[in-house]
Chains A and B, each alone.
Chain A
């Protein structure tokens, strides 16, 4: 057959594989809105994807703004799309496919929004839809009001599951599209596993499968994601982070054991896990090391990384270190950062260096003495000074009167001009008669008629 009217038709053979690949590309693009993007395909009645925007919509300014942004970007690329946002994936699907235009269902409004929609919207098989229509059940509202037991007997569990999932009575796990991880391994079990030891042993084996592939590329795992699929379709994800790249299966197994011990019964194995998947979500370059003959001895630089990892898994807290910052305002001059191995820091990194690393200036560099303890918020004190611009003579701090035996200063530290303007501070190192050394400052220059504001900012050893 040849079409002769208007522009000549161009015929393309259907290419489902290319369609699926394009959908995956679109999903990866949509990860700009949320990390949890789950595609669906023709078995569910058309192609598209779910975005789980819970906790992510505020980044775009709200749900409505997110929808508008998404629609605008899609239309700019000439991708025809229908969007809907609802509490449940099922309801959002139904509204997008069969609703009117772009719609946002307010929280808790799923059942109302679905009432008028046709039953095709429930992602049912075609045969099931026909059978339901023959019974006169054309709308979801009618289906929801029908007695459940006969429905279940006649049409099976699938129908009620879909209905409950759309209305939010039953959870629906999304299978998010991961960034295709280059390194990963899966193991399925005929008999579901639930014991902690079994899970750890399984992960140990999976890591040993992955390790040679990592080693071949000269990489180590910086972070791992363990996905446990429960028998009843609930997914459990556990993320493990490392202080430095590793591919040691024993180390991974030990950390996982610590993590599972901390989780305890929160892991909720239910009737057991049937699939265990281990993915390497982050990699880092790993220097080749001579393999030791005995597995027990761990070289020292490695041992610290192991310790940091173990403490993090055991307590959920990170080992931190102090890092200098380029600021002369005392409270901004240092910060706490997650600890990294020194050897790792010195290693040349492939990414460009964007930050200047500072060394700690010492007293030899002309820096005035700094206190050993710096208060996060400086504490107000009442100070008696002999001269209005002079050092303190006596001061009352923490409900005790301190007599000053010796004072050094002032060291004037002005606020940084690129921040909000603040008065300059005059710092004094003060030694009490009891031998305690404190760091006091007067906020702002002396103004006649106004009492000077004094603060204690730190303590010296």
Chain B
């Protein structure tokens, strides 16, 4: 009865094997990273951020969750999601599917093109419920014809559905994003979880709005480190960037430090 698990062979040979055990454990932990080929990730193009992500970017074929920081930040979260898709399509080409559950707005075509995302490469699918959305996402992941699949869901990605989608997505490895409202905060199976808040935009020399800017909070990340950054989005170059406090106009610089 008293035989605890610690009393197994470990205690007999203490020091030299500990290093080996640690090494094997590290290998085990890192296997999730190394099993995939290193190219299967979407780098955000910001070294400070990419260094914190396990594969040097958002892992393809893994679900990533984006949520607004508070009520009212929904457009910022939507913008960040679409910017990620625009960056991926800009790098890899191809088409993307947006599965839109009730409660989420359908994006405006001219707004999409203003964000650097060609509306002709976007397929929209409006569903009646989250269950239908999971079904559509799963079907889309099986297709292998899409570079990116995004679900605008009402309840986010519960553990079971998340696991299921991940198993399907591993084969085709598209960029898989889930956008959810601020309130639904359930444990879920996303590889990374992002919270996006609004921030005052980047200005040009004349004080006019130049680029959207968001407060990006990496809340949870498997095999990575969380953090908070102020990111801006360059729609023409399909690139994220950190605000350059020196080069910008004074009000923008102030916003950048806050």
Judge whether B108 and A461 touch: CB under 8 Å: no
Give the docked Cα–Cα distance between A204 and B78 (Å). Answer: 43
Hey, which chain B residues are within 8 Å of A429, CB to CB? Answer: 209
Within 8 A of B (CB), among A439-461: 458-461
Chain B binding surface SS class: mixed
Known A-B contacts A314-B135, A315-B132; the reply to A360 vs B145 at CB < 8 A is no
Chain A binding surface SS class: mixed
Give the docked Cα–Cα distance between A118 and B235 (Å). Answer: 80
Can you list, as one digit per residue, whether each of A138-168 has a CB less than 8 Å from chain B (1) or not (0)? Answer: 0000000000000000000000000000000
Give the docked Cα–Cα distance between A460 and B200 (Å). Answer: 12
Hey, which chain B residues are within 8 Å of A324, CB to CB? Answer: 109-110, 119
Among B74, B127, B201, B233, the one with the most A-chain Cβ atoms within 10 Å of its Cβ is B201
Quote the shortest CB–CB distance from B61 to chain A (angstroms). Answer: 17
Does B199 interact with chain A (Cβ within 8 Å)?
A: yes
Give the docked Cα–Cα distance between A126 and B219 (Å). Answer: 86
Give the docked Cα–Cα distance between A300 and B113 (Å). Answer: 24
Does B198 interact with chain A (Cβ within 8 Å)?
A: yes
Can you list, as one digit per residue, whether each of A397-410 has a CB less than 8 Å from chain B (1) or not (0)? Answer: 00010000110100
Judge whether B198 and A436 touch: CB under 8 Å: yes
Does B49 interact with chain A (Cβ within 8 Å)?
A: no
Within 8 A of B (CB), among A369-388: 369-374
Hey, which chain A residues are within 8 Å of B126, CB to CB? Answer: 317, 320
Does B228 interact with chain A (Cβ within 8 Å)?
A: no
Which of A319, A360, A406 is close to B118, meaning CB atoms less than 8 Å apart?
A: A360
Which of B78, B95, B109, B235 is close to A334, meaning CB atoms less than 8 Å apart?
A: B109
* Chain B residues touching A, range: 35 or more
Of the listed stretches A34-42, A226-234, A273-281, A304-312, chain B binds: A304-312
Does B168 interact with chain A (Cβ within 8 Å)?
A: no
Hey, which chain A residues are within 8 Å of B201, CB to CB? Answer: 431, 435, 437
Among B143, B208, B251, the one with the most A-chain Cβ atoms within 10 Å of its Cβ is B143
Judge whether B235 and A363 touch: CB under 8 Å: yes
Does B123 interact with chain A (Cβ within 8 Å)?
A: yes
Hey, which chain A residues are within 8 Å of B199, CB to CB? Answer: 435
Does B66 interact with chain A (Cβ within 8 Å)?
A: no
Does A178 interact with chain B (Cβ within 8 Å)?
A: no
Hey, which chain A residues are within 8 Å of B208, CB to CB? Answer: 408
Known A-B contacts A304-B95, A310-B139, A461-B75; the reply to A333 vs B132 at CB < 8 A is no
Give the docked Cα–Cα distance between A178 and B67 (Å). Answer: 53
- Chain A contributes a number of interface residues (CB within 8 A of B) equal to 54
Give the docked Cα–Cα distance between A301 and B93 (Å). Answer: 13
Judge whether B200 and A431 touch: CB under 8 Å: yes
Give the docked Cα–Cα distance between A461 and B201 (Å). Answer: 10
Which of B95, B111, B127 is close to A373, meaning CB atoms less than 8 Å apart?
A: B111
Among B114, B115, B126, B251, the one with the most A-chain Cβ atoms within 10 Å of its Cβ is B114
Does B140 interact with chain A (Cβ within 8 Å)?
A: yes
10 residue pairs, one from A and one from B, having the closest CB atoms: A461-B79, A303-B145, A435-B198, A334-B109, A322-B109, A372-B111, A370-B110, A374-B108, A459-B75, A360-B113
Query: B residues near A, CB below 8 A?
Result: 72-76, 78-80, 82-83, 94-95, 97, 105-115, 118-120, 122-128, 132, 135-136, 139-140, 143-146, 197-201, 203, 207-209, 212-215, 233, 235-236, 251, 255
Not counting A435-B255, A436-B75, a sample of 20 additional A-B residue pairs whose C-beta atoms are within 8 angstroms of each other reads A319-B123, A320-B126, A330-B110, A336-B106, A360-B113, A360-B118, A363-B114, A367-B114, A369-B114, A371-B111, A372-B79, A374-B108, A435-B199, A436-B72, A437-B198, A437-B201, A437-B212, A460-B75, A461-B76, A461-B82
